[in-house]
Amino acid sequence: MAADKPQPAEIKSKPQVPVHPLFFAAHPVLFIYAKTEGGFMLGEMLRPLAITVGLTVIAMGILRAAGKNFQRAALGLTVFLLLFFSYSRLGDGIHHLANINTSIVWAAALIVLLLLVLKGRYNADAATGALNFAGAVLVVVVLFQIHASSMTGNRAIAALPHQQESKVIAPAGGQLPDVYYIILDGYGRADILKDIFNEDVSDFNGYLARKGFYVAPRARSNYAQTMLSLSSSLNMEYLDFLDQSPGENSRVRLPLFSLMRDSEVCRLFRSAGYTIVNFPSAFVGRRQISADIYVSGHGEAESFELLLAGTTPIRAVFAKVKLPKSIRRRLDPAEVDRNRTLAQLADLGLKPEGHRPMFVFVHIMCPHPPFVFNRTGGKGLRMDWGFGDGVSSGQAGDYVAAYREQVLFINSRMPAILDRILKSSPRPPVIVIQGDHGPGSRLNFEDASKTDLHERMSILNAYYLPGAPAGRVYPTITPVNTFRVIFNTYLGANFKLLPDNSFFSCWSTPYKFVHYLPAAGQ
């Protein structure tokens, strides 16, 4: 009888290596950045991305060393990551269904899913392969979205009508003035504050007048949103070209960051030998404009990091656990905003020696929400924390009260700051104090017809222009002409002043502009 043929050895495939936790750690950061459609600068995403992926790598190393079944442990880690970054969405869904504590439901869901993953009967190798593939696809798709937004921002910069009509000329042997551009975000005009908020700011305006400021009595903003307004004023141009690229139905805001960061105003100041100094707010982070010196900020989280943290249980932890002050001031969104603003107010006017002349850009998130200050600087009337503006009818009274407190707070601090600037300057400085838009107690950001445009477009606009001929600024001046006046007056330019127009646009369609025509006398 013939000998049996030897059977080939059974070939076993190697088990799938679980890399999916890395993808699911990176994806929430990338997704939120892409979802803002250019609402933040790329550099703001890098630190939280490195932290989330780095901590995941450490966790995977610990699980591999400690557990016998690394695939199941990695699956449990991915489940945790998915739930961790879905906390706020889970909470929103729960509130629509019933009045149940989000933290309890989240913790229960985490325990149940972890037990199923760690103890359930399923093919862990197949699940690992499927999650590896799904995670990779999710990351590739969101990277493509980010790249598309970036290209849109570059096209907007290319479309900017750069100034060709005039150049700035530094006077030979002359000493150039420091120029301060102070944005008090959302600060309304005096008549608006009186009529809607029942707040008389005549004391503050009187102080400005005594110091030699001209406060434009009928000043309006050019745009109703911060990034639109600052993109326009810092480039001395209207933004009508953006309704073509990226288009009036686009909500991609990266072009606005590009216009602010690489603005015509900063380019012209640099050409005249100025040092650019930036006091950044928490709203858009440190790189709002490209500066030579950045002042303020003491290790707090940046604005994108605060937005990312808001999707997780971190905010719930801050609400229920008494953490050390050193941690809260760096991670708690309200504390970050308070401390950033207080640092700006403390540092403004303290001159870095050897860096004159300076163009100083200051963006202060006050009296705009979040409402974190009362009139004396203590804790404010915290409605839902966030930079969002506009309220429902039921909140209008709360908005009015909280906004008024922050107006009183900033009014109490500004005189000492302006005195410090004026006293420490080697020659009289140029100072502009401006609201980028008005208040939002009657704002509907999705419907211009339901918005009080007179409130939203009326702003504080005050100018200290030492030695300027009379009539350089006038009652209806808008921010688009601010630096045209300054360059003409102090740097030998010859810019033509533009018509003073105002445009409202909804949040979801920032480039679909509605021309606002104020009534007679407004």
Q: In the prediction, which pLDDT does 99 show?
A: 60
- Retrieve residue 418's tokens: 């302006």
Residue 55 CA to residue 76 CA, distance in Å, equals: 15
In one-letter notation, the amino acid at residue 362 is V
Per 3-state DSSP, the chain is made up of helix, strand and coil in percentages (nearest 5) of: 50, 10, 45
Q: In the prediction, which pLDDT does 13 show?
A: 65
Q: In the prediction, which pLDDT does 501 show?
A: 97
Report whether 503 contacts 514 (CB < 8 A).
yes
DSSP, res 202: H
Q: Is the sign of the CA dihedral 94, 100, 101, 105 positive or negative? A: negative
Helices 70-84 and 20-35 cross at an angle (nearest 10°) of 20
- Bond preceding residue 333 cis, omega within 30 of 0: no
Task: Count other C-beta atoms under 10 Å from residue 66's C-beta.
Answer: 9
Q: In the prediction, which pLDDT does 473 show?
A: 97
Mean pLDDT per 10-residue run, the chain (522 residues)?
54 79 95 75 82 94 84 92 88 62 82 87 90 95 83 64 62 82 97 95 96 97 95 94 78 81 91 90 67 70 75 77 67 77 88 78 92 89 63 74 95 96 92 96 89 96 95 96 96 94 93 89 74
- The pTM score is 0.81
Report whether 41 contacts 98 (CB < 8 A).
no
Q: In the prediction, which pLDDT does 5 show?
A: 57
- Retrieve residue 472's tokens: 């350089």
DSSP, res 450: G
**Which domains, from first to last, does the chain contain?**
20-148 (no CATH), 160-169+178-440+452-516 (3.40.720.10)
Residue 469 CA to residue 463 CA, distance in Å, equals: 13
Residue 187 CA to residue 353 CA, distance in Å, equals: 31
Q: In the prediction, which pLDDT does 215 show?
A: 98
Q: In the prediction, which pLDDT does 241 show?
A: 84
